[in-house]
Amino acid sequence: MTSPARRFKRTIGIDYSGAETAEASLKGLRVYQTIDDNEAEEVLPPPGPKKYWTRRGLAEWLTEELDSSIPTIVGIDHAFSFPMRYFERHRLEPDWQVFLDDFCVHWPTDELHTYVDFVRNGSVGNGAARTGERRWRRLTEEATGSAKSVFHFDVQGSVAKSTHSGIPWLRRIREARPQLHFWPFDGWTPPEGSSVIAEAYPRLWSFSYPRKDRTPDQHDAYSVAQWLQEADKSGELETAFAAPEPEPIAATGLVEGWILGAPWPPEEKPKATRRRKASRD
């Protein structure tokens, strides 16, 4: 039996961090990549005073690397957009580019010396004019059953800070490399030969790989890169690219974004059985 044709020669997995500023060296910001059939290995930042990646440095590296010479897929662990309710509340056109431009005006978290919390408390930008409710979740988050809301700040495992700090860098990369395919906003099926940037959720795959001596952040980045490579080999990636059905769900996904590999419809969880306490005589 012939194996499916591979789309990508390189896969990159990124475990993101919304801590501190865009110039801060962040231990939680990790990058792994595979090339051809080789196992995922960690990519360290360029030699210099920073021991770990910075968000600014990572965006610059991706912009330089994704020059179309090597078909590459990048999975980044933060949301790329917000729930439909956000667009409705703020009367935004349901269009991702419109969202990016508007968001970056209000949440300039890519500026120098800017923490996410600086925007939240009103000292920078105008975050108060572009907020959402912590109970709001995108369809794709509901599909996973465990992904948190992009507005759920100040809890362990929160993706809110990563998302609010990462979105401006997506816009910068998109402006510098307009040929990149941002999935699914530029279409559910990427053109052959294109490089792709997609939202990843390491929890979907990290349990499938032995952690060995990797930290949790390293293992999440490793798992994304390794799964992307294996899914590309097996043909599972083509299934993951497919638009969810019915069509209204796919139309919503083009605005809210989608977690690569998230199922639809959501998988039903078995109802927990209630144990009755035995009564004593």
List, for residues 21-50, the tens digit of each pLDDT value. Answer: 999 999 999 999 999 999 999 999 999 899
Tokens encoding 10: 């390189």
Beta strands, E only, the chain = 10-15, 30-35, 41-42, 72-76, 181-182, 196-199
**Could you tell me the residue range of the domain that residue 208 belongs to?**
10-256
DSSP symbol at 46 = P
CB 63 within 8 A of CB 74: no
Decide if 273 is inside a domain.
no
Q: How many domains does the chain have?
A: 1
Q: How far is CA 154 from CA 16, 118, 147, 151, 237, in A?
A: 16, 14, 15, 10, 33
Q: 9 exposed, middle or buried (CB, 10 Å; 0-12, 13-18, 19+)?
A: middle
In a domain, 280, yes or no: no
If phi > 0 it is left, if psi is from -120 to 50 it is alpha, else beta; for residue 50 that is: beta
Examine residue 2 and state whether it is found in any structural domain, yes or no: no
What six digits make up the tokens of 27? 């231990």
Query: How confident is the model at residue 275, as a pLDDT?
Result: 38
Q: What pLDDT score does 1 carry?
A: 45
Look at residue 271 in the predicted model and tell me its pLDDT. 53
Residue 5 lies in a domain: no
Q: What is the reported pTM?
A: 0.93
pLDDT of residue 146: 87
The reply to whether 262 falls in a domain is no
- Residue type (1 letter), 125: G
pLDDT digit string, tens, across residues 81-119: 999 999 999 999 999 999 999 999 999 999 999 999 999
CB atoms within 10 A of CB 67: 12
Inside any domain, residue 279: no
Would you say 158 and 152 are in contact if contact means Cβ atoms under 8 Å apart?
yes
pLDDT per 10-residue tile (average), the chain, 281 residues: 79 97 98 98 94 98 95 98 98 98 98 97 97 96 92 85 98 98 98 97 96 97 98 97 97 98 82 38 29
In a domain, 75, yes or no: yes
What pLDDT is stored for residue 158 in this prediction? 76
Per-residue confidence (pLDDT) for residue 274, from 0 to 100: 39
Token match 């299934």: residue?
A: 239
Q: Which of 204, 199, 251 is nearest to 227 (CA)?
A: 204
**Cα separation of 27 and 153, whole Å?**
20
- Domain assignment present for 233: yes
Q: What is the pLDDT of residue 266?
A: 87
Q: Which two tokens stand for residue 279?
A: 């009564």
Q: What are phi and psi of 196, to 5 degrees?
A: -125, 140
